[in-house]
Amino acid sequence: MSKKILSQDSNSDFEKIWKEMEEIEPLTPPPSVKKEITDEALKAYREAALSDAYMFGEYNGYDAYQDYGVIAD
């Protein structure tokens, strides 16, 4: 007497919708573009790290708050 309960969307429906969305606006960049974006992001991250090191040196935010008594020992 029990009926099998099917999910709202089957895998084939999901894949069909995904492909339609890919055609409208790609959700996943092509591998070559993805690598370029990754390389640019890493370069920007390294530049930001160098700037932070130059501006703040070995700054430790936790110790700075502890020195002012904001964080209890």
What is the per-residue pLDDT for 33? 66
Domain ranges (residues) in the chain: 28-73
**pTM recorded for the entire structure:** 0.38
What span, in angstroms and rounded, lies between the C-alpha atoms of 52 and 58? Answer: 9
What is the per-residue pLDDT for 25? 81
What is the per-residue pLDDT for 22? 84
What span, in angstroms and rounded, lies between the C-alpha atoms of 72 and 66? Answer: 7
What type of residue sits at position 23? E
What span, in angstroms and rounded, lies between the C-alpha atoms of 21 and 60? Answer: 46
What is the per-residue pLDDT for 43? 93
Closest CA to 55 of 43, 67, 47: 47
Print pLDDT tens along the chain (73 aa).
556 555 555 667 888 888 888 888 877 767 666 777 788 889 999 999 888 888 888 777 777 777 666 655 5
